[in-house]
Amino acid sequence: MHFASFFSPSKNDIMSINDSFDEIYEHNKNLVCNDSEETEKVTKFMNEAVTLLHKQIEITDGYQNHFNYNNSGIYTKKQDDKDIGKLNITIENPDKYDDIKNMLWDPNNPQNIDHRFLNGKAIRVYNPNLMIIQQCYMSISHSSIKYFHYLAKRVEISKDKTLIVYISTNLSDVNNDVESNISTLLEIAYSLESGCNFEEELKKNFVNLSGYSIKKKDTHIDVTYFNSIIDNYILAPLYDFKRVRSKNYILLMNLKEIFSPQNKYIPNSTFLLS
């Protein structure tokens, strides 16, 4: 099995799905949160998440390299009760910076690489760069649908650097209890106290942290995907989230293939769920 086997559309096909979140925001104004306290709490919480993501992406110690290929590398490590994966890729096409960051921000992105992915959408909106999203996957047995809910924030660090961060609990839901899942995420955001250790708060609440760093250089774009999953020895949710991680690896490797000047061979990916 190769990365490229999951997804082989043309460049024109890719561009057709690159709706910016501003357009999604316009189509979902009925989902805008009018509770100023909630907006303030979620904003503060996700600002802390952005800071932590930026810090974690810069850390290189303790990782085990799984492969390096064509300026790309996948790295993993175990840290306490966290299962961490990181993918670094270089895309030799700086003109595609806006397209890439908009694609990665789109909740529906996995639809082109994962036959079990059903849909992704915003379910609560705070502003065009802060929302709660839902993504739905068919279970392996095709007997149920699994729902994943994330707090998501996009930050333009500079004109040439963007961070996208996601916060989720380590549970996948088979009942589509949207209000319950939103409440769980909001309870975590509301529990944040001034001056607390944010990383410890995530650990205490069994929270997963993931996201992207997209940096435009003169000759290329550097993209890093970071994914930290709380492993509290409940096998199924860990596997579910590692499967989502592996599909995001595939998504990024296919972006490299699509947006680089020449299509590239992508190496075997059988280790991604190990």
**Residue at 145: amino acid letter:** I
**Residue at 163: amino acid letter:** L
CA-based nearest residue to 253, from 52, 66, 21: 66
Neighbours of 244 (CB within 10 A): 22
- Can you tell me the distance from the alpha carbon of 257 to that of 228, in angstroms, rounded to the nearest whole number? 25
First to last CA, the chain: 15
Residue ranges per domain, the chain?
3-259
Neighbours of 194 (CB within 10 A): 5
- Each residue's pLDDT, cut to its tens digit, for the chain (274 residues) gives 233 332 233 333 333 333 455 676 676 777 899 999 999 999 999 999 999 999 999 999 999 988 787 778 999 998 888 889 999 999 999 999 999 998 899 888 777 666 778 888 999 999 999 999 998 888 777 778 888 889 999 999 999 999 999 998 766 555 556 778 788 889 888 988 877 888 887 877 778 899 999 999 999 999 999 999 887 655 456 777 888 888 888 888 888 878 876 654 444 444 454 4
Please indicate, yes or no, whether the overall pTM of this predicted structure exceeds 0.85: no
Q: Could you give the residue ranges of the DSSP H alpha helices within the chain?
A: 11-16, 21-27, 36-58, 97-105, 178-190, 198-204, 235-259
Q: Which residue has the tokens 């380590």?
A: 170
CATH of 3-259 given 3.40.50.10740, 3.60.15.10, 1.20.1540.10, 3.30.530.20? 3.30.530.20
Q: Write the Ramachandran bin of 171: left for phi over 0, alpha for psi from -120 to 50, otherwise beta.
A: beta
Give pLDDT, residue 160: 96
